[in-house]
Structure formats: structure tokens, C-alpha cells
Structure 1
Amino acid sequence: MNQCKSSFITPSKSLTKRASLNALASIIDYGARVLVEFVINPLLVAGLGNYLYGLWRILWRLNGYMDAAGGRSAQVLKWAVAKDQTLANYDDKRRYVGGTVAVWFLFLPLLTMLGGVLVWLAPILLEVPEEFLLTTQLTIGLLALNVVLFGLVDIPRVVLQGENLGYKRMGLSALLVLAGGGLTVLAVIQGLGLVGVAAATIATTLISGMVFLGVVRRQVPWFGIARPTREITRRFYGLSGWFVLWKIVSQLMLAGDILILGIFDSVVLVTVYTLTKYVPETLIRLVGTVVFNISPGLGGIIGAGNLEKAVNVRGEIMAFTWLLLTVAGACILLWNQLFVQLWVGDSYYAGLIPTLLIILLVAQITFIRNDANVIDLTLNIRTKVLIGVLAETLALSLAALLVSRYGMGIVGLCIGSIAGHSIISVVYPFLVGQVLGIRFYDQVKGALRPVIVTLLLLLMMLGFKHYGESYHQAALVLERLHSWPGLVVGVAATAMVVSVLAFYGGLSSRQRSGLIKRLQAVIKR
């Protein structure tokens, strides 16, 4: 049995420092992604037009379902490595990699079949005009190929994350995101349309795989591949099945809204909804990215049996998530219309009430994903997935009913989704409580104060937005802020005021003290 260096088994870097560096690396990457999307979305709208842009957003979401058919064995590898990150058995970890590749091969026929079905079925469901039929089919085919490749080239990246070394790729991922954005812009400028954008996605995937392979070879001494035992393959295959189902549930949760609007309303409405949701969706991905990258550290704590520390870390994660969502939600409600006007034009703003409902939906999904990550660390996800399937089926059914039969559009979509997801919002905290030894009653009691404060702050922003424009002085102020510098000033001022109100109004003294100490520790290290 190979042994690793002591510094690798017992890292000199504390959990706080590693978590901080992982979070910093993810924020840098995410900042690059936000910058790229901020630049290329208007170019895509202008270059592709309203219809093809909406079609691209739908096809890109469908790409997520094809990804699920790949087996999700890389995610099983990540959590398996995270749970055993302090162990010195290199051979077993190499067999984990071998098991991941074996499961990828087992799921390959299913992925190929699904890609073929989507090439044939998607244009029919979306009622794609004859002139765009071939383009749509080629785009879906290229996206399916991208999923096939991604299942393998993603292995080095998830190994880094599983070993809690995600920060080792700091800066490189950001450059890769910028490079991918550059390829997409080039495809649009050259008039290559949807097919060119999809080809740029494949090129970015291949380049990213080669870069991460070089990083993991330098940073993880055990990285390699070994023939897996039958037990490891069977275990990974069984877990992959549940991760596939969860990936489908997760995709429906994050992207089912676009499919509902595209199928039961119109592709053009998808464009309006997507651009209005851009900032809220950016927020959910930011929180998810940070939590996703610090979760392996929490996995090490749970794996070591230190539940008291795990409870504290999870509490800090939830408090930070709530604070960020509340501040950002208030700013979005007040300033999103101006952002959309300056960015792509006023005609792409869905309205004040739809924006409020989008914010509530995004907040709900963010907390669901936080608890889902904690449950994943236990590798016992059967109940989580079954509850997710039930809730998501209900959410999509309600949303489809309100959109198609009652013509409620984005409002109906959000109401149906929030109602269906409420099942998960109750059950997942209960499951996490069972893992960490937290009573469900205590969780509900602790959530009352933050929820009330969030609703009050959102109502305050809603009232100011609705009635403030009716008053002469307020209207003059808003008119002067109608520019990018004015938007920045307005958002900054709103964020400062709401941050203070939320921090002292929604968090207990213990929570405030914990966040301050964590922040001080991060800065110090």
C-alpha cells in the first residue's frame, strides 16, 4: 500500500484557510463567468435574434439532461474522495478513478440514445420552423458530443475538489472561461450561428480538460487510474444511478422553468424571462459555487465524526447564504429594471411582480441546494432523490397548469414552482438534522426571524419601487441615476443600508459573532 507524505494526510493548512482559498478561487472563476456572460448575452441577442437566442437557452438547458444520462460518476468520485481525503491508501483512490471510467462506459449507450432522441424530438416539441430545423438538430448533436467528452475530461477537476485542493487551479479556470467566451464571440461574429456556438463549447471543454489534467498531476501525488474491483464498480454504478436521478431533478429545478415557458407559452417569452432572471440566476450560481467548493472540507469533518463542528460550519454557511440572498434580493428588486434597460433594452424586463417571485424562487432553490450538498457528503442520497422527484413533478405540473390553462406566464410559473418545491424545503432540513443531530423544531424556530426580516425588507423595496416613482423628488433622483455609474451608486447605497438592517435585524448575536470571527480568520490567513 502506497503511503502519502504526512503533510498531505494532515495538511498544515487549516480547514478555514483551505475553505477560504477554495471560495476565493471559485469567486474569481465565477467573476470571469459573469463578465463573459454580461458581454456575450447582448451579442447573442443581437447576432442570433430573439427567437434563436431563446432557442439556444432552451437547448443549453436540455444539455443538462443529457449530462445526467452520462452517469454522473465523476460526482460520485468527488464525494468518495472528499470523504476519504485524509486516508493514505493511494491504490484505492486510483481504483475509484478506474470505477468512474468504467461507469462512464456503462452509461455511454444510454447517453448516445438520448442524444438521438433529442435530435428528433426537441424540434417537434418546440415547433421549430422548417428553416431552423437542421440548425437545431446539428446543435443538439454537438451538445450531446460535448456531454460525452465532459464525462471523462471532468475527472481531474473533481479529484482536485474532492481532495479539498480546488484553490490550486486559481486563475486558470478564469482564463479558461474567458477563452471560452472569446470562442463564442468569434463564432457569433463569423456568423456561424447556433452550430458555431455549440462548437465553441466543445473546444472549451477539451482545452479545460487538458489544463486540469496538468494541474492535478502536479498537485495530487496519487492521481492515476487502476483497474477497479467489482465491489467498487458496483458501488459507483449504484450511486451513479441515484446521482443521475438527482441531476435530472436539479436540472428541472434550475432549468425546468425555461422548458415550461418554451413548450406551453412561447420561445420569445423565454428570452424575456431569461434576461430578467439574469441577475437573480447569477446570484444563485454564485452562492452555489462557493458552497459547492467548501463542501469537501465539511465532508472531511463529517467523515471524522466531529458533528459539533459540522453543525457550526453548516450554520455559518446557512447564515452567510441568507445574508447574501437578502441583500442581493433587495437590490435586485429595486434596480433590476434599470439594469435590464441599460443592458439590452426595456422591452426585455418582465415586470416588478415577476421579478419579486423570481427572487423568492431563487432563494428557495439556493437553500435547497445547500442542504442537498450536505446530504451528498453522506453518500446516502436515496431519500433525498425520491423526495426531489416527487416535489419537482408537482412543481412542474402546477407551473404547466398555470401557464398553459390559465395563461399566467412567468407569474404562474414561479407560483407553481415555489409551491411544489415547498415539500423539499421541509424534508431536506429534516434529513440534514438526522445526519448532524439537529432537531427539526430548532431549525424552524431559528429560521423564523430571518424569514420575517427578509420579507419585510423585500416589501419595503417593493413599496419604494412602486410608490417612489409617483413622487416628484424621488422620480428626479431615479432619473439622474439612469446610467451605468448611477446604477452602481444606487446598488452600492442600497446594499450598505440593507446589509446593516439584515445583519442586526435577522441574525442573533451568536450568529453575528460567528460570522465576524470567521471573516477575521479568513482575512488573517
Structure 2
Amino acid sequence: MSTAIALLKGSVTRVSQTFVSIVVAFFMMPFLIHELGDYWYGIWTVVGSLAAAYHLFDMGMASAVTRYVSRSFGLKDDHQANVTINTALAIYTAIAVVIVLISIIASYAARGFVDDAATKDVMQWLVLIIGVSVALEFPFNALAGVANAKLRFHQVALTRIAMTLIGAVLTWWAISEGYGVIALAVITFCTARLSNLLYFLICRAAFPELQFSRGLASGEKSKELFQYSAWSFVIAIAYQMRNNVDNFVVAGFLSAASVTPYAIGLRLVDYVAQFLSQATNMFVPIFTAYHAREDKTELHTKLQFVTRLNLVLALIAGGGLVIFGEAFINRWMGANYAEAYWVMVILLVGRMIGFANHPLNSALYAANKHSIVAKIDMIEVALNLALSLVLVQYYGLIGVALGTMIPLLLLRLLVLPYFACRL
């Protein structure tokens, strides 16, 4: 299969995966609230947030594994690929043990948040099951670079679509039969294990030379991985701060109720950005292979092509949302949320420019120069907070949106291209 066909299949299936996930969540949310009740659904949401926090223990290691495995494949060095995978496996196994221990402690601590004895037991089991489930996923992250470097995006996406649908069907059946929130945790645990198994089989088929041995783990390679992942971790933290700082500014300077129209506009922009990212954000392994072979001509050609493609997609998707967004918000949420449209438009400008230039991020990751991306992200977050704090006092929600858009626009349109072209 040619690279172009593999990427096209990956793009279509990844977008389909995102669509299926959103549709399933759209229908399952009211069903779960109705069947479980506000209290238990709230408990489930809190436990889910705890699980999401556990993923920060990755510390950017997955991006490091992807980069170094892709580099080894680009140099046709299967031995170094196995060294990277086994070193990462040792690191991830240690992380998994830490998460299990934290989950055990957290499961007992969770009992203190409720009064009823039966509820205490349910809380303890929920936290423990979900924590152990997340921990068991970590060792499989050692294979993060294999499927991507071998362009098996479509197989991974199809697996996730299947798991999403199977999980939704099992959840609907179990909750309808009255099994309660513990059943949700068990279903989540089982579908995650099946997903891990299928992911392993995909990687094994893509890389038949895959070996597992303690002798292949390398202290020197672990230093390389941690040095690379440190900046990826900074980028992940900056991403979380960028996504949450606006809500705190709105709630603190306006009101908690004002968060809702801002969140509506932000949610629509996030959906568009998510679809676009799934369509084209697959080029780190390809750029890494070109960089490893020092094939600058091919790297530059592909980088320019993907940037143009992203710009066209951003103009189409962003333009469509600007044209139809106001009518959609009125139909979806009602006429009382008209301000959400202008929040959406302002945020959309910055996010689409960021998406158009995202291939530059991928190229910097491939060249092990992603520290530049991390520094730009941290500057962006600081400017975002400073401008939002000032502008919210004059322009309200629109000021917060402008405080987010302006630094993103300047840094992604001027600063990032400048440093990327120098390199």
C-alpha cells in the first residue's frame, strides 16, 4: 500500500472515529443521567476526571517513543527500534505500578467523601477499578510508535470505533437491567483490555521483528526518552492550561452563569478542530523518517504540501462554521445564547491559524526541536491570561475570547514559522 493511500485511509477512519465518539456521547449522556440519576452520574463524572488525571503520568513519553521508533524505522534499524520499545516498556511498567499504588490509596480516601456505608463501598470499588484499568494501559504505550510509523492509523481507528460501539451497547444493556454504576466501571475495564490486545496484535503484524527482552532495555536510551519527553510534558501542561484558564477568568470576573455561553462557543470550535486534527495530524513519523535520512528536499516538499492542505481545510471548515454557526446555536441552545456565536467566531480565527501551521509543530517534533513549541506554548498561555484579565473588564466575554485569540494568532502566524524556517 502506498503512503498516500495509507494516509488517506487513516484520515477517513480517524475522522469517522471522532464522529462515532461524538454521536455515541451525544445519545448516551442523557440516557445515563436519566437511568443513574444526577447523583451517581456526577460520581461517575468525578471518577472519570480522576482517570484523566492519571494520564498525566505519561509525562510526554508516548511522543518520545513515537519519535525514536519512527527514526529507527526510517534508518531501517530494527534493533534500535526494539531497544526503544523495551526501554519504554520498563519505564511504563514502573509508572503502572505507581498508579496502582496511588489508586489503592485513593480508593480508601474516596470513602471519606460520602456518608452512607453502601455508597462508601461503591466509591471505593469505582476508584480502584478505573485506576487499575488506566494503569494496565500504560505498558502498551511502549508500542506507541509502531502503529504510527508503519502507517496503521486506519486499523487503530477501526479498533477504537468497534470498542466505542461495543462499550455503548454493553452499557445500554447493563444500565437498562439495573446493574448500576459499578457495571459501567467493569465494562470500561473489559473493553479497555480488549482494545489493548487488538492494539498489540496490530503492532505485532506491522512489526514482525518485535522482540521483548530485559536485555534490550537501555539506561542510555531512557535518558534520551526522558530528555525528549520533558518538553512534550510541558506542551501537554500548557495545552491543559490554555483549555481551562478562560473558564476561570469568566467565572471570576463575570459570573458562573457566563461560563455557559463561552463554553458553547468554545465547544463548537473544539469539535471542528478535533475533526480537522484527526484528518491530517499523522505526519510526525513521516517527517521523522525524512529527518533521520537527512532528506531535506522531501521533508520541505511534504511540509509545504501538508501546510497548504491544512490551510484549505481550515478555510472550508472555519468558513462553514461562521456561516451556519449562529443558526445552529439558536436551534441547538436557544436565542438566549447569541453571544456564544461571537465568542465562537473570535476563537475560531486563532484556532484555524494554529491548525494551518500545525505541520510545523510536527516537523519540530521530528527534528527533536519541540522545545521551541513548548516555549511558544508557555508564552502563549501567559499572554492569554494577561490579556484576558485586562480585556474582560472592558469587553466581557468578547474580551476573554480576544485575549485567547490575539497571542495565538501572533505566535502561530509569525513566531513559529520564523523559528521553524530557520531550522
TM-score, normalised by the number of residues in structure 2: 0.79
Aligned to 2:59: 71
Aligned to 2:383: 394
Task: Quickly say closer, same or farther: Cα 1:285–1:221, change in 2 above 3 A.
Answer: same
Measured after TM superposition, the shift of residue 156 of structure 1 is 3.8
- Give the counterpart letter for 2:276 in structure 1: V
Residue of 19, 25, 28 corresponding to 1:37: 25
Is residue 2:212 matched to residue 1:225? yes
Secondary structure, aligned partner of 1:208: helix
Measured after TM superposition, the shift of residue 217 of structure 1 is 2.0
Task: Quickly say closer, same or farther: Cα 1:238–1:298, change in 2 above 3 A.
Answer: closer
Measured after TM superposition, the shift of residue 406 of structure 1 is 6.3
Instruction: Give runs of aligned pairs for residues 44-55 of structure 1, distance below 5 A.
Output: none
Task: Quickly say closer, same or farther: Cα 1:387–1:313, change in 2 above 3 A.
Answer: same
- Give the counterpart letter for 2:376 in structure 1: I
Instruction: Give runs of aligned pairs for residues 12-31 of structure 1, distance below 5 A.
Output: 13-31=1-19
Moved more, 91-100 or 288-297: 288-297
Per-residue CA shift, 1:210-233, capped at 9, x if unaligned?
221122222321223333121111
- Give the counterpart letter for 2:402 in structure 1: I
Q: Distance in 2 between matches of 1:166 and 1:137?
A: 37
Is residue 2:276 matched to residue 1:290? no
Aligned to 1:101: 89
Query: What is the number of equivalent residue pairs in this alignment?
Result: 415
Aligned to 1:513: none
Q: Is the 8 A contact 2:284 2:365 kept in 1?
A: no
Aligned to 2:302: 313
- Give the counterpart letter for 2:405 in structure 1: I
Q: Distance in 2 between matches of 1:172 and 1:240?
A: 27
Task: Quickly say closer, same or farther: Cα 1:88–1:325, change in 2 above 3 A.
Answer: closer
Measured after TM superposition, the shift of residue 364 of structure 1 is 3.8
Is residue 2:382 matched to residue 1:416? no
Measured after TM superposition, the shift of residue 242 of structure 1 is 2.0
Q: Distance in 1 between matches of 2:186 and 2:123?
A: 13
Is residue 2:202 matched to residue 1:207? no
Q: Distance in 1 between matches of 2:247 and 2:128?
A: 20
Task: Quickly say closer, same or farther: Cα 1:231–1:94, change in 2 above 3 A.
Answer: same
Q: Distance in 2 between matches of 1:214 and 1:416?
A: 46
Aligned to 2:164: 177
Residue of 80, 85, 89 corresponding to 2:77: 89
Instruction: Give runs of aligned pairs for residues 361-380 of structure 1, distance below 5 A.
Output: 361-367=350-356, 369-380=358-369
Instruction: Give runs of aligned pairs for residues 189-338 of structure 1, distance below 5 A.
Output: 201-227=188-214, 228-258=217-247, 261=250, 270=259, 272-338=261-327
TM-score, normalised by the number of residues in structure 1: 0.65
Secondary structure, aligned partner of 1:69: helix
Measured after TM superposition, the shift of residue 321 of structure 1 is 1.6
Q: Is the 8 A contact 2:249 2:388 kept in 1?
A: yes
Instruction: Give runs of aligned pairs for residues 502-517 of structure 1, distance below 5 A.
Output: none
Measured after TM superposition, the shift of residue 251 of structure 1 is 2.6
- Give the counterpart letter for 1:82 in structure 2: S
- Give the counterpart letter for 1:219 in structure 2: A
Q: Is the 8 A contact 2:86 2:142 kept in 1?
A: no
Is residue 2:150 matched to residue 1:163? yes
Per-residue CA shift, 1:230-253, capped at 9, x if unaligned?
111111122222221121122333
Unaligned runs of at least 5 residues, structure 2: none
Aligned to 2:418: 430
- Give the counterpart letter for 2:201 in structure 1: G
Task: Quickly say closer, same or farther: Cα 1:207–1:139, change in 2 above 3 A.
Answer: same
Q: Distance in 2 between matches of 1:99 and 1:21?
A: 31
- Give the counterpart letter for 1:32 in structure 2: V
Q: Distance in 1 between matches of 2:326 and 2:33?
A: 18
Identity %: 15
Measured after TM superposition, the shift of residue 328 of structure 1 is 1.8
Task: Quickly say closer, same or farther: Cα 1:152–1:340, change in 2 above 3 A.
Answer: farther
Secondary structure, aligned partner of 2:58: coil
Task: Quickly say closer, same or farther: Cα 1:52–1:183, change in 2 above 3 A.
Answer: same
Moved more, 332-341 or 281-290: 332-341
Task: Quickly say closer, same or farther: Cα 1:256–1:39, change in 2 above 3 A.
Answer: farther
Secondary structure, aligned partner of 2:160: helix
Measured after TM superposition, the shift of residue 307 of structure 1 is 1.9
Q: Distance in 1 between matches of 2:339 and 2:128?
A: 32
Per-residue CA shift, 1:467-503, capped at 9, x if unaligned?
xxxxxxxxxxxxxxxxxxxxxxxxxxxxxxxxxxxxx
Moved more, 39-48 or 364-373: 39-48
Aligned to 1:445: none
Task: Quickly say closer, same or farther: Cα 1:401–1:375, change in 2 above 3 A.
Answer: same
Measured after TM superposition, the shift of residue 282 of structure 1 is 1.8
Per-residue CA shift, 1:70-107, capped at 9, x if unaligned?
22322211111222223443332222112112332555
Measured after TM superposition, the shift of residue 176 of structure 1 is 1.8
Measured after TM superposition, the shift of residue 37 of structure 1 is 3.3
Q: Is the 8 A contact 2:307 2:358 kept in 1?
A: no
Q: Distance in 1 between matches of 2:182 and 2:159?
A: 27
- Give the counterpart letter for 1:166 in structure 2: F
Q: Is the 8 A contact 1:143 1:202 kept in 2?
A: yes
Q: Distance in 2 between matches of 1:194 and 1:395?
A: 39
Measured after TM superposition, the shift of residue 358 of structure 1 is 2.9
Q: Is the 8 A contact 2:93 2:139 kept in 1?
A: no
